[in-house]
Structures are given as structure tokens and as C-alpha cells.
């Protein structure tokens, strides 16, 4: 359904309950936090061909920002009950929305990595910080100031929902692997994503080297490898089969339209998976920003504690294995 908004008109407000997302047909939309308040901050512009508000649709969570028409604007609004029809009327939108979510997840992953790298440098052994660290600290202090004003998620919200078996219904190419098989290597271009139907897969950095670290173990009914595919980025880790007889489905970007036609539940599972990863990573990124914020506040008060240094060390142990 197309809706027209005049320049300056509010499309939805921060905190509103969200049950739809929007595609910009023409015009331009600004996304703000604390709109019309002294602490107002503009986050981004959304232009024709792009979507916004998609997380509220996927997670039924209150809007995290305010959307305002920056000029006379036409939008397509899609409600949750109409999503399948929206995809049926324009199957190419499936790839578009998945890529938008993938790009968002990729950006967030990079931001979280940079925040953890900043924490790693907070308290160097030789007590000498790099001159560039001050700018990084300011960046993440500002990020936490912005995030802290929003409602923090509950434990239930951060829990991944249980789907039906991923092996149900139509599937693309499914292969059986022996233990030790490398599905993809760190640094290789990401060509597709994967769905585990049976068995287990380990995700490693530095696989086969002295710095090898197992990031996680994945079991049946889990997806992996989606960032490399959707963001067209090199693999950030190596995927290794952990038990004989592991069965894994390969899904390429060009497969999604066919999958939706023959097994729409699989597409909904992928969207839910991306949603969970985004909300979980947002939570972890928020905690990392808070760690940097607390460190900056303690230094201003000349009250850096051993407990704070220990917390920074715990980040290094979890993220870098140090």
C-alpha cells in the first residue's frame, strides 16, 4: 500500500509499536533519535529503493528511532500479515531485504570489532597508549550516549526462537561431509550461506595455526556463512565439519526466489536468523561501548579501579583469546 507524506511529516516516532516496514518509492526520509529535543541526532537518510523499519516488523519491538519525510515522499508500507504477498508480487524484493539485513549485520560486526580493539588498547602493559586511541574512545563514548537513551532489551528478547526442522520441505543442494572437512576457509570470498540439516560444524579463526580459536559450535537447524554471501565479503573464519555424516545445505543468493516459491517457511527462518544475530550483536556492541564509556568516566575522575582493568582483560580473553 502506497502512502504519501509531506515534507516535515512524521512517519513514525521513537517508541511507537511497529508492525510494518517501509520502502521509499520517491523522496527522502530522515531517521532521528530524540527528534525535536535538545539531544536530537540524525542517524541517516533513506532514499528511493531502500527500506527502513524492518526490524520492528521482524521482531515486533518498539521503534528505536523517529522517521521524518525530508521532502514530499511516497512510501510503500508492508504489514506483517502481508509479507508473503509482498514477496509473491515482487520476488526480487526477497534478495533486496536479505541484503539490507546482511549489510546492517556486516556494519555492526565491524563496529563491534573496532570497539573490542579499542578496549584491548585501554590498559597496555607498558602504560603507553597510541595517540589515535583518544579519538576512538570519544567515538564509542558518543555511541554509548546515544544507545543508553533507548530501551534496553530483555533476556527473552535476546533469546533465539526455535524453528521447525530446517530439513522440512524443499531444499537446495544438500551434501554429506566427513569429520574434518573444511567447508570454507578464512579469507576466501563468500559465495553462499549454509544450513545444517544434521551433525555439527565448528567455526574457527586461525584454523591450523598456533593462534587457532574455536568461536562457536553449530548444530542441526542452524545457518552460517550469511555475511560473506549477503555482503560479498571474505570469510571471517573457517568452517570445519566436526562429525561424520554431517549434512549441510548450500544456499546461493540466486536460490532465494525459488526457495520462497517452493518453501516460504525457509525464507522466514533466514530472516528470523538474521534478526536474531542483529539484535544479539547490538546488545554485545552496547556492552562494549559501555565498557569504554566507564573507562573514560573513571579516568576523568582519576578513579580507574583494578576491577575495571580486569573487565577490560576479560574482553580481550573472550574476543582475542588472550
List pLDDT tens digits, range 87-129. Answer: 888 888 888 888 888 888 888 888 998 999 899 888 877 767 7
Last residue of a domain, one of 83, 102, 127: 83
Neighbours of 126 (CB within 10 A): 5
The answer to whether residue 256 sits within a structural domain is no
| β-strands 51-52, 193-198 pairing | unpaired
Last residue of a domain, one of 83, 104, 120: 83
| Structural domain range at position 56 | 2-83
The answer to whether residue 162 sits within a structural domain is no
What sign has the CA pseudo-torsion 312, 317, 321, 322?
positive
C-alpha radius of gyration, the chain, whole number: 22
Of residues 246 and 141, which shows the higher confidence score? Answer: 246
Same domain, 78 and 110: no
Residue 202 per-residue DSSP state: E
Cell numbers of 286, please? Answer: 552496547
Same domain, 193 and 247: yes
Half-sphere exposure of 88 (CA within 13 A, CB side): 8
Cα 183 from chain centroid (whole Å): 23
The answer to whether residue 35 sits within a structural domain is yes
Same domain, 286 and 148: yes
Band the pLDDT of 322: cuts 50, 70, 90.
low
Same domain, 51 and 191: no
| β-strands 200-205, 238-241 pairing | antiparallel
Same domain, 74 and 111: no
The answer to whether residue 17 sits within a structural domain is yes
pLDDT single digits (tens) 9-39: 999 998 888 888 899 999 999 999 889 988 8
Same domain, 278 and 146: yes
What sign has the CA pseudo-torsion 234, 268, 275, 44?
positive
Last residue of a domain, one of 57, 83, 109: 83
Cell numbers of 99, please? Answer: 541484503
The answer to whether residue 121 sits within a structural domain is yes
CATH of the domain at 181: 2.60.120.10
Amino acid at each position: 500500500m502506497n502512502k504519501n507524506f509531506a515534507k516535515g511529516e512524521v512517519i513514525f516516532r521513537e517508541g511507537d509499536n511497529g508492525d510494518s516496514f517501509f520502502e521509499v518509492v520517491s523522496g527522502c526520509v530522515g531517521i532521528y533519535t530524540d527528534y525535536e529535543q535538545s539531544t536530537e541526532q540524525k542517524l541517516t537518510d533513506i532514499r528511493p529503493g531502500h527500506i527502513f523499519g524492518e526490524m520492528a516488523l521482524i521482531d515486533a519491538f518498539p521503534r528505536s528511532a523517529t522517521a521524518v519525510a525530508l521532502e514530499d515522499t511516497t512510501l510503500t508500507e508492508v504489514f506483517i500479515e502481508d509479507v508473503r504477498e509482498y514477496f509473491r508480487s515482487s520476488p526480487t524484493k526477497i534478495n533486496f531485504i536479505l541484503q539490507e539485513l546482511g549489510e546492517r549485520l556486516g556494519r555492526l560486526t565491524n563496529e563491534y570489532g573496532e570497539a573490542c580493539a579499542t578496549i584491548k588498547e585501554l590498559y597496555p602493559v607498558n602504560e603507553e597508549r597510541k595517540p589515535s586511541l583518544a579519538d576512538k574512545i570519544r567515538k564509542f563514548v558518543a555511541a554509548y550516549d546515544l544507545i543508553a537513551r533507548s530501551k534496553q532489551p530483555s533476556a527473552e528478547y535476546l533469546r533465539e526462537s526455535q524453528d521447525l526442522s530446517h530439513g522440512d520441505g524443499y531444499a537446495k543442494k544438500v551434501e554429506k561431509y566427513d569429520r574434518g572437512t573444511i567447508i570454507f576457509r578464512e579469507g576466501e570470498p563468500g559465495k553462499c550461506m549454509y544450513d545444517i540439516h544434521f551433525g555439527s560444524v565448528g567455526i574457527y579463526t586461525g584454523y591450523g595455526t598456533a593462534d587457532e580459536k574455536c568461536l562457536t559450535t553449530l548444530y542441526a537447524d542452524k545457518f552460517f556463512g550469511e555475511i560473506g554471501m549477503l555482503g560479498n565479503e571474505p570469510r571471517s573464519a573457517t568452517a570445519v565439519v566436526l562429525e561424520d555424516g554431517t549434512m549441510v545445505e548450500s544456499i546461493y543468493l540466486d536460490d532465494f526466489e525459488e526457495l520462497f516459491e517452493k518453501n516460504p517457511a525457509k525464507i522466514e527462518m533466514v530472516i528470523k536468523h538474521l534478526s536474531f544475530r542483529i539484535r544479539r550483536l547490538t546488545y554485545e556492541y552496547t556492552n562494549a561501548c559501555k565498557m569504554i564509556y566507564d573507562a573514560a568516566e573513571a579516568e576523568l575522575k582519576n578513579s580507574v579501579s583494578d576491577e575495571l582493568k580486569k573487565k577490560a582483560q576479560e574482553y580481550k580473553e573472550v574476543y582475542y583469546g588472550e
